[in-house]
Amino acid sequence: MKPRNWKSKLAAPLLTLLTGAVIMSGCSTTASEENTGNEHNHNGATTHSIVASTSWTALIARTAGLDNITILAPVDMKHPNEYDFKPSDIEKVNNADMVIYSEYEPFMKKILESAEVPETDRFAVVTENTPEALNAQISNLAEQMGTTDTASKALEEIDSKFEAVLAETAKLDVVAKRVVAQAYMVPVAKAMGYEVVGEFGPAEVTPTQAAELAALKPALVIDNLHFPQGAEIAKLADSKLVEIRNYPETDTQTLTELITQNAEKLGLTLSQ
């Protein structure tokens, strides 16, 4: 197992930040591109070997300015939370300088029970693609890892993108803003300026619940592409069903690209 002595180079106040739990851009790497020691990126910051549980937690890490990232769950999985890990994943985690994950991921809970990873080498994020959550958690991660300059620039771009989205939803009338959303998409829908008049999931949607939500006559049914549940509601309400993403579509997609993609699916046109 790789010696875990790299944190001696970080200031003590930064170590304290790691104990807090935080949430969910650059290039990710494959397992074959393991870091063989402390290197430096083009900004002069120390580069460490990072293991991210999914493409979502990797996206947060990349946005915070980190590189040399190995992703455990396949990027093309529709629901990465259901990843069935392999023994080799435990080795990857053990050899990493930092492990970034979300506490709700069952496979990561099992991996960390088997791996020899001290708490100081774990960074738990709360995955939510809203401006407030992204800003808080990306900032904390960047401060911990010494990449605040890169992260600050990325966060400015994210804030600007959300402002552009809100400018478009502001043009909609009250009726067009009324939506029903899958539970995990409620925060994102609100962050994009929609009025969420009802929600469904993650429990199975019953016929009665579907009928009640359809009776609200939403302009849109905003569903979770990774865990879709809203088709029957949209059918009963004669409303448009839109599936949007939490996880990036590829391992190179940035957060601003993901926000733009979701906005366009909702029918919004963003200026370049």
Same domain, 81 and 115: yes
Give the angle 238-196-23 at the CA atoms, nearest 5°. 125
Instruction: Kindly state whether residue 30 falls inside one of the protein's structural domains.
Output: yes
Q: Give the residue numbers spanning the domain of 65.
A: 6-158
**pLDDT at residue number 197:** 98
Same domain, 150 and 227: no
Instruction: Kindly state whether residue 128 falls inside one of the protein's structural domains.
Output: yes
Count: domains in the chain = 2
**pLDDT at residue number 232:** 98
Mean pLDDT of 129-141: 95
Q: How many CB atoms lie within 10 A of CB 161?
A: 20
Q: Above 70 in pLDDT, residue 201?
A: yes
**pLDDT at residue number 37:** 38
Instruction: Kindly state whether residue 166 falls inside one of the protein's structural domains.
Output: no
Q: Which of 66, 108, 78, 65 is nearest to 90 (CA)?
A: 108
Q: How many CB atoms lie within 10 A of CB 167?
A: 13
Q: How far is residue 3's CA from residue 82's CA, in Å, rounded to a whole number? A: 31
What CATH number is given to the structural domain containing 234? 3.40.50.1980
Mark which of 158, 182, 206 sits at the end of a domain.
158
Q: Please give the torsion angle defined by the CA atoms of residues 131, 137, 31 and 68, in that order, rounded to the nearest 10 degrees.
A: 90
Q: How far is residue 151's CA from residue 170's CA, in Å, rounded to a whole number? A: 28
**pLDDT at residue number 47:** 65
**pLDDT at residue number 270:** 85
**Predicted confidence (pLDDT) per residue in 208-261, tens digit:** 999 999 999 999 999 999 999 999 999 999 999 999 999 999 999 999 999 999
Same domain, 150 and 236: no
Q: Above 80 in pLDDT, residue 7?
A: no
Same domain, 104 and 189: no
Instruction: Kindly state whether residue 1 falls inside one of the protein's structural domains.
Output: no
Same domain, 247 and 141: no
Mark which of 111, 127, 158 sits at the end of a domain.
158
**pLDDT at residue number 40:** 41
Mean pLDDT of 198-214: 97
Instruction: Kindly state whether residue 163 falls inside one of the protein's structural domains.
Output: no
Same domain, 108 and 139: yes
Residue 205 is classified by DSSP as P
Q: How confident is the model at residue 187 (pLDDT cuts 50, 70, 90)?
A: very high
Q: Above 50 in pLDDT, residue 23?
A: no
**pLDDT at residue number 10:** 39
| Cis, bond preceding 202 (omega within 30 deg of 0) | yes
Residue 208 φ/ψ, nearest 5 degrees: -65, -45
Instruction: Kindly state whether residue 165 falls inside one of the protein's structural domains.
Output: no
Mean pLDDT of 183-190: 97
Mean pLDDT of 77-84: 93
**pLDDT at residue number 272:** 58
Same domain, 192 and 152: no
**Predicted confidence (pLDDT) per residue in 24-54, tens digit:** 333 333 333 333 334 444 343 446 799 999 9
Residues of the chain with pLDDT > 90, as a percent, come to: 77
Same domain, 105 and 11: yes
Residues of 43-80 as b/e, b for ≥16 C-beta within 10 angstroms?
eebebbbbbbbbbbbbbbbbbbbbbbbbbbbebeeeeb
**pLDDT at residue number 38:** 42
Instruction: Kindly state whether residue 198 falls inside one of the protein's structural domains.
Output: yes
Same domain, 140 and 196: no
| Cα-only R_g, the chain | 20
Same domain, 112 and 207: no
Same domain, 111 and 34: yes
**pLDDT at residue number 13:** 37
Mark which of 123, 158, 193 sits at the end of a domain.
158
**Predicted confidence (pLDDT) per residue in 96-130, tens digit:** 999 999 999 999 999 999 998 999 899 999 899 99
Instruction: Kindly state whether residue 210 falls inside one of the protein's structural domains.
Output: yes
**pLDDT at residue number 60:** 96
- How high is the mean pLDDT of the chain? 85
Same domain, 23 and 133: yes
Q: How far is residue 186's CA from residue 126's CA, in Å, rounded to a whole number? A: 15
